[in-house]
Each structure stands twice: as C-alpha cells, then as structure tokens.
Amino acid sequence: MQTKILDYTTQKQEALGQAKSLILSGEVVAIPTETVYGIAANALDGEAVKKIYVAKGRPSDNPLIVHISELSQAQALVKEIPEKVKLMAERFWPGPLTMIMKKSSLVPDITSGGLDTVAVRMPKSQAARDIINACGVPLAAPSANLSGSPSPTNADYVFADMNGRIPLIIDAGPCEIGVESTVISFTGEKPRLLRPGGVTFEQITELIGETELDDAVLNKLVDGAVASSPGMKYKHYAPKASITVVKGTLEEFVRFVQGRDCFVLCFEGEEKHFKNAVSYGRADNALSQANRLFNALRELDEKGADTVYARCPETSGIGLAVYNRLIRSAGFNIISL
Ligand code: AMP
Ligand code: MG
C-alpha cells in the first residue's frame, strides 16, 4: 500500500475530502490532534475499526478512544451521561480529556475491546474537529504508532511507523501537547484517573472533588491483576534502547553517569555535563517536557543509543503524565541516588 501525506495547512480541502471518502468507505487515516497523532476509523463500523488494530499490531482487547466534535454525539454512544461528566465536559472539552462511561449498543465490541464501557473524547485540534465534522461520524483513534513504540507527535514519525500500512496521513504540524489525553473512568462509585495527561489530576479534583488515582498510573501492574485500563498491562512507549530513570539532583546524576558508556536523557541546558545527551524540555516546565519526551525517545534510537539514564521529572501537574510515560518507556526501571 502507498502511504500518502497531505498537508492540512496548504491542501485543506483535498485533505478533508480524501479523509472523508476513505473513512466513510471503511478505511483508516492518520489524523493530527492536540495530544498525539491518531489512526482514525469510523467508530461505529466494526470492520473498519479492525483495520486500526491490524495497522498498529495492537492487541484486540485494548480498547480505543472514540472522538467526537459535538456534545450531542456523546449521547448516542453511552447509556447515560453522569452529572460529573457534564461538569467536566463543560470545563475541559474540547481538550485533552477522555471520559469512560457505560456504552450503548451502537458501539461495536471491537471498538471497546470487548468491554461494556466506552472512552469518549472531544479533541481541541481544529484539524481533528474538521475531519470528524466532515465525516459526520465519531472516529475511533488510538495513537498512530506501532503498538509498543513511543506515540508520534509529528507526521514524519507517523510515516516512520505506518508507511505501507495505511493509505493516508494528514499533516498539521507538531502536536501542541505531545502526550496522550487524560483518561478518567466514571463507571465506578468514584471517578478514577486511569491515565494522566494534559488535564491534570489537580484540575480534576478541584472541579469534581474526590477522585481515585489508579494504581497503574505510578506502578507496574502486579502479575495476574485485572487492569482498569487494559492498555496499562502492555509494553508501552518503549524505544529500542534500555532506559533507567534516575531519581536525584543534577549533581548526583552527573557523578553517577561519569565514566559510564551510556546516553543521557536530560533537561535542556544540562547537555554540557555529558558526552552523549538528548534533552526533553526544561526542568521547571512540565509542558515543555511533554512536548519533547516521545521525540527525544525516538532521537535516542536514531543515534543508536543502547543504554540510557534519564533525569526524573517532577510529578505534579502535567509532570505526572510525563513521569507516567517515562517510567513505562523504561519498563519501570527506576533507581534513587
Ligand atoms: P491510546 O489509544 O493509545 O491513546 O490508548 C487509549 C487508552 O485508553 C488505553 O490505555 C486504553 O486501555 C484506555 N481505554 C480506552 N477505552 C477504555 C475503556 N472502555 N475502559 C478502560 N480503559 C480504556
Ligand atoms: Mg497509544
């Protein structure tokens, strides 16, 4: 299969037309969003959604997020919309927030990975909203990487993973946030944060009160445990290099890596201390880290890094999302100095 790239800024009408015609004929298309690039298909067409799993090599029990452009589209996908979901939607949609509710029979089982719940998000990216609007159907879209690899935050990285596997990539430049959406479930007694993202835990608890933090956000799932979010049990965001997250001050870190044959994943401005360094944002700015993390992981592979020691981010605000992705990319290899 030939994989075509269309630029959303300079070829908007053609991009919208081709995305619509492919998606409505049951094909998949890679689309930009403000979080990361996604591979989209008609969420209500089970055969089309199957092609997403095939293109990514994704296990079929790992459910997809359904993207909408209007609040009215959510109603048909779920049994009911809880009051707290309405509050959250009013405040954070459109935006990097996915909410899980009991699904309606309209949503095929393959879209929800066989669960009786469905994850719904209204993205903020204008290109994503235009594409959903043009199609007139909700779009199931996981990140546009091969299963297990870091998520792509630009069209080149989508192409690197998906060339020959999908017919079309819509390029709208780099993603504004760079890590996937916050995922929160409203199917239990209390709201439960399953995956941190651009909408922070602090913002959520301030708006809707007590919210549980799923164990899998900060820890490796214990063998045999049932994952609240099936994606959490799989290898994730992993580059070819073996990564170790190192907790400690810059000074301790510099001393620790001295004399070791390794690469370092550090913060901007710290590169001068190391022989082989790739940086991921500023130490005091979590959004800049989110912006850079997945690209930095891919750059380490491009440079042929084998062993990597990573500086550890703060875990407040968007930092929690950065930390959550980094420890997974490291296979939970974490040391404290
Ligand atoms: P991605 O598609 O790569 O952004 O990943 C979506 C994440 O949301 C995965 O970790 C999924 O397991 C999770 N997810 C999607 N739908 C559900 C659901 N119905 N219940 C629990 N987790 C879900
Ligand atoms: Mg993903």
Q: Measure 248 CA to ligand 1 centroid, in angstroms.
A: 32
Is the Cβ–Cβ distance between 191 and 208 less than 8 Å?
Answer: yes
- 4-217 shares its CATH topology with 242-336: no
136-162 residue pLDDT tens: 999 999 999 999 889 999 999 999 999
Give the percent of the chain with pLDDT over 70: 99
Q: Which ligand is nearest to the CA of 59?
A: 1
Mean pLDDT (whole number) for 76-83? 97
Mean pLDDT (whole number) for 244-248? 98
Domain spans in the chain, listed from the N-terminal domain onward: 4-217, 242-336
Nearest atom in ligand 1 to 151's CA? 3
Question: pTM for the whole thing?
Answer: 0.96
Domain 4-217 class in CATH: alpha beta
CATH 3.40.47.10 given to domain 242-336: no
Residue 224 has pLDDT above 80, yes or no: no
Q: Which ligand is nearest to the CA of 60?
A: 1
Nearest atom in ligand 1 to 112's CA? 19
More confident residue, 221 or 255: 255
- Residues within 6 Å of ligand 1 by CB: 62-65, 100, 112, 115, 117-119, 142-143, 180, 183, 194-195, 229-232
Asked if the bond preceding 152 is cis, omega within 30° of 0, the reply is no
Among protein residues, the one with the nearest Cα to ligand 1's atom 7 is 231
Q: Measure 107 CA to ligand 1 centroid, in angstroms.
A: 15
